[in-house]
Amino acid sequence: MTTSSGRPRKDSAPPRQSSAGRPPRERGRATRRLRLLIADDEALIRMGLRAMLEEQGYQVVGEAGDGRRTVELARALKPHAILLDIKMPEMDGIEATGAIMAENPVPIVLLTAYSDRDLVERAKEAGVLAYLVKPFKEADLAPALEMAMARFAEIQALRKEIGDLRETLETRKVVERAKGILIRRHGIGEEEAFLRIQKQSRNLRKPMREVAQAIILAESI
């Protein structure tokens, strides 16, 4: 198109589209299109959870209403991550987590109406990597999933070094304590704290568990 003077006119840039007008997959950090499995014994909660996740661009590939079915679907669908309720028939969320982690490890976010410390510790021992206390908001989902994915990557790194899953989870407890010390001492994030432990392990050619134990010992002196 030209102007009245005969000079070509530059087309104006298309108007910027607001985040509210973008397709769900273009918003936030869900562009990876994570494939998720959700599990809760209440259909209404599953429906709401699916809607919130899909709105953020995640792909829900399966739903389960009990723990046993969750384990079966995890085996069949191989999701990138699982969100499951702690209170379910057949097998509760913690038992289901233990079964899934023993067979085909995957990042797991536990949904619970309880914030009991003992319950949280049991969940961690089973392999739960993040949890959300009900009622949660849509904005809480992505950070919880990202945390679970990041911690799962740490576990995979530890497992390459150790091999045995149970021993890996035990080592992770020690590494988590050491990470906490580094975070407080240096004001860094979880990922950076883990990378520092991992780098020191490589430099010293010692297992990460030994490096973590040394950090904990130095803090106690």
pLDDT tens track for 137-181: 899 999 999 989 988 888 778 777 776 667 777 787 888 888 889
Please give the residue range of the domain that contains residue 205. Answer: 163-220
Domain check: are 180 and 112 in the same one? no
Q: Is residue 123 located within the same domain as residue 171?
A: no
Q: What is the pLDDT of residue 115?
A: 67
Q: What is the pLDDT of residue 55?
A: 93
What is residue 18's predicted lDDT score, i.e. its pLDDT?
37
Mean pLDDT of the chain: 81
Q: Note whether 108 and 58 are same-domain residues.
A: yes
Edge-first strand order for the sheet with 108-112 is 59-64, 35-39, 81-85, 108-112, 130-133
Domain end call among 105, 126, 155: 155
Provide the pLDDT confidence category of residue 116 given band limits of 50, 70 and 90.
Answer: low
The pTM (predicted TM-score) of the whole model is 0.65
For residues 129 and 47, give the distance between their C-alpha atoms in angstroms, rounded to a whole number. Answer: 23
Q: Determine, yes or no, domain membership for 10.
A: no
Enumerate helices (H) and strands (E) in the chain, giving the number of each.
8, 5
- Assess whether 171 and 107 both reside in one domain: no
Does residue 104 share a domain with residue 209?
Answer: no
Instruction: State whether 77 and 28 are in the same domain.
Output: yes
Domain boundary among 155, 172, 187: 155
- Contact yes or no for 102/165 (Cβ under 8 A): yes
Q: Is residue 212 over pLDDT 50?
A: yes
Q: Which two tokens stand for residue 188?
A: 């860094």
Greater pLDDT, 199 or 18: 199
Per-residue pLDDT reduced to its tens digit, 67-97: 999 999 999 999 999 999 988 998 989 899 9
User: With bands split at pLDDT 50, 70 and 90, how would you rate the model's confidence at 17?
Assistant: very low
- Shared domain for 150 and 167, answered yes or no, is no
- Under DSSP, the state recorded for 81 is E
- Name which of 31-40, 161-170, 209-218 the model is least confident about: 161-170
- Rounded to an integer, what is the distance from CA 104 to the centroid of its chain? 16
Spatial distance between the Cα atoms of 106 and 149, rounded to a whole number of angstroms: 9
Counting every residue, how long is the chain? 221
* Distance separating alpha carbons of residues 41 and 88, to the nearest angstrom: 6
> Which is nearest to 81 in space by CA: 140, 28, 128?
128
- How far is it, in rounded angstroms, from Cα 169 to Cα 95? 16
pLDDT for 32 equals 61
Residue 2 resides in a domain: no
- CATH number, domain containing residue 100: 3.40.50.2300
Structural domains in the chain (count): 2
User: In which region does residue 30 sit, left (phi positive, over 0), alpha (psi from -120 to 50) or beta (all else)?
Assistant: alpha
Per cent of the chain over pLDDT 70 is 81
CB atoms within 10 A of CB 38: 26
What are the tokens at 204? 């010293």
User: Which residue among 128, 155, 182 closes a domain?
Assistant: 155
In a domain, residue 208? The reply is yes
Q: In this predicted structure, what is the pLDDT of residue 14?
A: 42
CA distance readout (Å), 10 to 7, 38, 110: 9, 50, 54
Determine, yes or no, domain membership for 16: no
